């Protein structure tokens, strides 16, 4: 796992078309913004796990 440190308003670029921006840092919470093509799915982990569970149940 690559671990990076960023300050507010600093960005991380992934590939050619995904940009992650640190929008706000408050206590132990970090608010991030994600710019990605509509064809790229972006989910919080708990949502992604739920989607995977529904897919497995449908099989």
Predicted local confidence at residue 46, as pLDDT: 97
How confident is the model over 36-49, as a mean pLDDT? 97
- Dihedral, CA of residue 54, residue 56, residue 57 and residue 59, to nearest 10: 130
Tell me how far apart the terminal alpha carbons of the chain are, to the nearest angstrom.
Answer: 31
Longest dimension (CA), the chain: 43
Predicted local confidence at residue 57, as pLDDT: 84
Joined tokens for residue 43: 């989910």
Joined tokens for residue 17: 């078309």
In the chain, where the domains are located:
10-57
DSSP-derived secondary structure for 26-59: ETTEEEEEEE--TTS----HHHHHHHHHHHHHH-
Predicted local confidence at residue 6, as pLDDT: 98
How confident is the model over 6-34, as a mean pLDDT? 98
């Amino acid at each position: 796992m690559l671990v990076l440190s960023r300050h507010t308003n600093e960005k991380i670029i992934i590939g050619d078309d995904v940009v992650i921006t640190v929008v706000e840092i408050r206590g132990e919470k970090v608010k991030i913004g994600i710019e990605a093509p509509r064809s790229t799915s972006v989910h919080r982990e708990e949502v992604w796990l739920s989607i995977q569970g529904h897919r497995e149940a449908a099989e």
